[in-house]
Structure 1
Amino acid sequence: MVIAEAPASRTFFPAADGVRLAVETRRPGGAPTLLFAHGFGQTRGAWNGAAAAMAARGCRCVSFDSRGHGESGRVPGGDYHIEQFADDLLRLAGAQPEPPVLVGASMGGLLGLVVAGEVRPAPFRALVLVDITPRWESAGVERILAFMQAHPDGFSDYAEAAERIAAYLPQRRERKSEEQLRPLLRQGEDGRLRWHWDPALLGGVVRESERYQPRLLAAAARVDVPVLLLSGARSDVVSRATVEEFLALVPHARHVEVADATHMLAGDANDAFTREIARFVESLDPAQPNPAGAARGAGAA
């Protein structure tokens, strides 16, 4: 059933260390709750289409800017660590009226895996991983980081920024408008436009990511909530090999490959993306909050 579109409301959520996270909620009285976690260098705006579509289906949809991104606060001195991001996600999940279904893209999905695999009871009702697996293709990640590092002096205007993004995302037919770009850029005292994220993020968090892979693999093997892995058929971050390894670690997970989509899956094919999320959410059994875990427990007994 599709119901009228709900407006989004923004609040700020205090992290454990005082950093304020910008949080946006659609249909606060809806159910189930979907918590959207964006990728590295993105904002909650990456989920606008999906969150609006799922809210129109009656879901309570919560998206947020990770620390150092968008309207959320930055860490003094630029001392970012992955543990901070994982704790933020855990606290946000715990602040919801019910365990949410986490929809996590790239970095957001990896953080979800860590939290779901290491925290008991798991704070999520289920996981939707968007084009990410515990082991990824380094070439694809390096391409993303190269783009993030390519314009340290920013852009002279929105038109220049739109041109650079179009070159980076040639699969997109339409260029971003100034209205779409405003949340992604900040104007400095010199008048130039720079990305919304803290440049210090390219230090500690990026350096830590590779050594986290063993931990991610171990966490994935302990995930006991329903899981949907959505991958882009044209992704250079997730491959057949990384997907097969993940499915061996999490045999109860479902995998759907979305045609004509890259790593930027939600932006490339939002209709197909939200359709698969809706199917997955509708398949969850509300009377059995942890079917995968219950099945494993019965087997162990």
Structure 2
Amino acid sequence: MVYDIHAPPAISRFPVADLGLAVETRNPDGSPTLLFAHGFGQTRGAWNGAASALADAGCRCVTYDTRGHGESDRVAGGADSGGGYHMDQFADDLLRLAEAQPQPPILVGASMGGLLGIVLAGEMRPVPFRALVLVDITPRWETAGVERILAFMQAHPDGFANYADAAEQIAAYLPQRRERKSEEQLRPLLREGADGRLRWHWDPALLAGGVVQESERYQPRLQAAAAKIDLPVLLLSGARSDVVSRATVDEFMQLVPHAQHVELSHATHMVAGDANDAFMREVVRFVQSLDPSADRRHAGAAQP
């Protein structure tokens, strides 16, 4: 069957321990499977361009919203619960989704999504992935860059009066982008509240709960997990990133000496958005370099 690139991706709800995740599958009959995990505060929409192009190239591409993000469910109690989000929950969700694929997927993980991939690839046996593509993330990161991301997420608790206001704030946060986001592009990123104000898609409890506080404490665990990874690994970093630096990349390459590293000269931490053509080229090259015989199948795996 030929994949119709103009057909909308299949959207489903994938049940995890206590809620449901919004999942999109492009080219469901394709191979290999690429599973995309976005960063903290993003949605599966961050991968639209890459997933569509790779699906057109023959890959089966699965994107999803992590819990508390986008169209995935929020933890019961919301912000009033004091924050019900923890790194282990995110990792378990990703593990369940990976194990449900018809073949061990190649994980493409940006920022937090990449950290979850490192933990699972290093700690789980059997390993739930065939290979890892880490997008501008290493087990240790530059605190200032993460603080800038969190500051943006915390900056507008009362939301925005309209889409133009939101677009202006994104443009200030991402000055390297030439074009401002349109209302159509912003609709999946914002929710209209009862007061008519537009607020970001993420659950405010994400910022009040355990994920932010846990992240720094996770670094020793991430370093130990990275040292145990025996999968093919590609690290794509942005030369203008304030989250990943030469020091953190060098440290990662000592922990995972068989990994490949490519620095994209015009990219910041938002690698796929800043340099999508270069990002795609490197991902395709890496995928094509993998041994096809490693495309093992899970017997009786559920289709998300």
Task: Give the TM bin, normalised by the shorter chain.
Answer: over 0.9
Query: 1:4 offset after TM fit, Å?
Result: 5.2
- Secondary structure of residue in 2 paired with 1:266: helix
List alignment gaps of at least 5 residues for structure 1. 291-301
Distance 1:3 1:262 in 2: 33
Distance 2:278 2:184 in 1: 25
The match for 1:137 among 137, 142, 152 is: 142
- The answer to whether residue 261 in structure 2 is matched with residue 260 in structure 1 is no
Q: What does 1:1-301 align with in structure 2 at a 5 Å threshold? A: 5=5, 7-17=8-18, 19-77=19-77, 78-203=83-208, 204-288=210-294
Maintained 8 Å contact 2:130/2:294: no
Aligned length: 288
Match in the other structure for 2:299: none
Query: 1:16 offset after TM fit, Å?
Result: 1.4
Q: In structure 2, what residue type is equivalent to 1:146?
A: A
List alignment gaps of at least 5 residues for structure 2. 78-82, 297-304
- Secondary structure of residue in 1 paired with 2:292: coil
- Secondary structure of residue in 1 paired with 2:14: strand
Match in the other structure for 2:80: none
Query: 1:289 offset after TM fit, Å?
Result: 6.0
Query: 1:287 offset after TM fit, Å?
Result: 2.3
Distance 1:288 1:213 in 2: 30
Maintained 8 Å contact 2:87/2:211: yes
- Secondary structure of residue in 2 paired with 1:76: coil
Structure 2-normalised TM-score?
A: 0.93
- Superposition RMSD in Å: 1.3
Give aligned-pair identity as a percent.
78
Query: 1:211 offset after TM fit, Å?
Result: 0.3
Distance 1:46 1:210 in 2: 25
Match in the other structure for 1:296: none
Structure 1-normalised TM-score?
A: 0.94
- Secondary structure of residue in 2 paired with 1:69: coil
Alpha-carbon spacing, 1:25–1:218, altered in 2? closer, same or farther (3 Å): same
Distance 1:169 1:104 in 2: 20
